[in-house]
Amino acid sequence: MQTPDRGVAQKSSRGIDMQNRQIRFTLLAVALGVAALVGWSALAVRPVQGAPQAEFGLRQIAQGLAAPVYLTHAGDGSGRLFVVEKGGTIRIIQNGQVLAQPFLDITDRVGNDGEAGMLSVAFPPDYVTSGYFIVYYNHADKNLVGPEPEDGGSNGGYDTVVARFRVTTDPNLADRNSEERILVRNQPFTNHNGGLVKFGPDGYLYIGLGDGGSGGDPYDTGQSVGSLLGKILRVAVGATGSYTIPPTNPFVNQAGARAEIWDWGLRNPWRYSFDRQSGDLWIGDVGQSKYEEISLHPAGTPGGLNFGWDCFEGNLSRETSAPCTGPFVPPVLDYGRGEGQSVTGGYVYRGAAWPEFNGRYFFADFVQGKIWSIARNGDGWTNKRLEQDTSEQIASFGEDETGELYVVAIGGKIFQIVDTSAPAAALSTSSFVATPASGVAGDVVTYALVLRNTGGATAGAVQASVQVPAALAYIPGSLQATAGSTNATGAPALTWLGVIGAG
């Protein structure tokens, strides 16, 4: 974080900046695709002189949702948040409001008992041009496909469906009749569905599947490369809703193995994420009765990592009928039942609002409602700290286009993670104004934003920061402000330092 010169700051507080009740910013960016060129997040503002350390807080942005379990963005520059409701609907939060019309409603197809339901949605990198997106849900019909031999003939769960849908000409409405099923898999029991679909930095679709349920992995699927269960899969989605196998998958052309497998030895990888800066894959794997764990697949490491279930639960070895030949990858972190009973994997923070939290990994426990973070320490991850002990059942974290993080409570609420050490002055921002308002790849767009203060003067210098959306490329040297100092050396993160007068 850039620190203003002491003399300049004192001069500003007596003179020029104190007369500025508002600061106007302009910048230039190049459009990288066809998109509406708005949807930036508001400026994040915090004090930098004599200010306390950033303090973790939750700001409620939505309530009244029906069992929300996941939140993501479309990567289209719109700023919209897409919330998956377990019963079979996807809702849109736009400009702070939950739209009345669902983006997608397939409640008549979804089996919603216990852990089953619609569990996630993923938008591919080409969503702006293709209009296709991926949904994971459990079908109400338990007999879409028959039981697999490795499941012992069990057919007690709702079948897993990974399907592709398409948006209509209305960007806030999907065509429920456009479904193309990419993958259908029998579930032997009603729990441990996994349930997350996500596109990785490599453009491939990753699919998390639990071990099939019951308890103790009765069919040893976690340690069987002949089963899709207890795995994270990696596939390339085809033009017609089919999929192909990436040639670098670890079990390609291996007899008796499923080539879709990327990582294995997992019990219920309910929530995982990619670090948007490093590409690391973080996995929250729900434990059995003793330990919850966070595992890590570093970017650039070949696939085929075996995280140990059901030979290990966390770092604890187990008695099992599975072949425990290894090698196994131990978790980055595990915790016992004294702290929680069901881990919810989260994200590495890469937003602009909290410079101090850059690179920290946030995760939670669904049962206890606790939120923790850990930080890199050399080659390991330590400094685990409790950020907040909530009363919510935390089903998921979410990330918006600018890297800011959200918390999804299955009771119906959505929270944004915020810094509660923000300045007391009444600072607000107008919407970004883009000229032109929309464009195609290669267009140069001018943006204007005003930061206003309608309260008392700030006690000292403040820092305002914003993240350039992925659909745009900042033009170096173009960031300007009517007062204070700008810093774009960390682009796409842009910052400003200065003092704002009383309103």
Instruction: Give the contacts of 287 (CB within 8 A, at least 6 positions apart).
Output: 267, 293, 313, 314, 334, 342, 343
Give the pLDDT band of residue 427 (cuts 50, 70, 90): low
pLDDT of residue 27: 82
- pLDDT more than 90, % of the chain: 65
187-213 tens-digit pLDDT: 999 899 999 999 999 999 999 999 999
Q: What is the mean pLDDT of residues 390-401?
A: 97
Q: What is the pLDDT of residue 355?
A: 84
Q: What letters, b where the CB count within 10 A reaches 16 and e where it falls short, cover 18-54?
A: bebebbebebbbebbbebbbbbbbbbbbbbbbebeeb
Mean pLDDT is lowest, of 223-232, 455-464, 469-478, for 455-464
Q: What percent of the chain has pLDDT over 70?
A: 87
Question: 472: part of which helix (H) or strand (E)?
Answer: strand 472-474
- Helix, strand and coil content of the chain, in percent to the nearest 5, comes to 5, 40, 55
Query: What confidence tens digit (pLDDT) does each residue in 88-142 have?
Result: 999 999 999 999 999 999 999 999 999 999 999 999 999 999 999 999 999 999 8
Given a cut of 80, whether residue 3 has pLDDT beyond it is no
Whole-number Å distance between alpha carbons of 24 and 230:
53
Backbone φ and ψ for 107, nearest 5 degrees, come out as: -60, -30
- Give the pLDDT confidence score for residue 34 in this predicted structure: 55
Backbone angles phi, psi at 12, to 5 degrees: -65, -40
> What is the chain's length?
503
Most confident of the following: 437-446, 454-463, 494-503? 437-446
- Looking at every residue in the chain, the average pLDDT score rounds to 87
Assess contact for 278 and 259: CB atoms under 8 A.
no
- Looking at residue 153, its pLDDT comes to 72
Distance CA 107, CA 89 (A): 6
- Residue 139's pLDDT is 97
Whether the pLDDT of residue 411 is over 90: the answer is yes
278-297 pLDDT, tens digit each: 999 999 999 999 999 999 99
**β-strand partners of 184:** 161
Residue range 11-46, pLDDT digits in tens? 232 223 334 567 888 888 887 765 555 556 666 776
Q: CA dist 161 to 73, 139, 317, Å?
A: 21, 7, 33
Q: Which CATH number applies to 56-419?
A: 2.120.10.30
pLDDT at 1: 34
Q: Phi and psi dihedrals of 433, rounded to 5?
A: -110, 120
The DSSP annotation for 298-335 comes to -TT--S--B--TTTEETTEE---SS---------SEEE
The pair of three-digit structure tokens given for residue 428, joined into one six-digit string: 């607000």
The rounded distance, in Å, linking the Cα atoms of 233 and 231 is 6
Which amino acid belongs to residue 122?
A: A
Residue 165 near residue 181, CB atoms below 8 Å = no
pLDDT tens digits, 168-180: 999 999 999 999 9
DSSP string spanning 97-136? Answer: EE-SS-SEE-GGGB--STT-SEEEEE--TTHHHH-EEEEE
Q: Which tokens is 159 given?
A: 């079948």
Instruction: Pick the closest to residue 272 from 107, 390, 119 (CA basis).
Output: 119
Question: Where do the structural domains in the chain lie, given as residue ranges?
Answer: 6-52+423-498, 56-419
453, 500 in Cβ contact below 8 A?
A: yes
Q: Residues 350-371: pLDDT tens digits?
A: 998 888 899 999 999 999 999 9
Q: Give pLDDT, residue 8.
A: 30
Backbone angles phi, psi at 260, to 5 degrees: -70, -20
Confidence of residue 47 (pLDDT cuts 50, 70, 90): low
- The burial class, CB within 10 Å (0-12 / 13-18 / 19+), for 379 is exposed
Cβ neighbours of residue 382 closer than 8 Å, sequence gap 6 or more: 374, 375
Q: What is the predicted pLDDT for the residue at 17? A: 34
Residue with tokens 């995982």: 272
Q: What is the DSSP string of 377-417?
A: ETTEEEEEEEEEE-SS-EEEEEE-TTS-EEEEETTTEEEEE
Q: Which of 391, 338, 395, 350 is nearest to 369 (CA)?
A: 391
- Give me the pLDDT at residue 38, please: 53
pLDDT of residue 26: 84
Residue 263's Cβ-side half-sphere holds a number of Cα atoms within 13 Å equal to 29
pLDDT of residue 470: 74
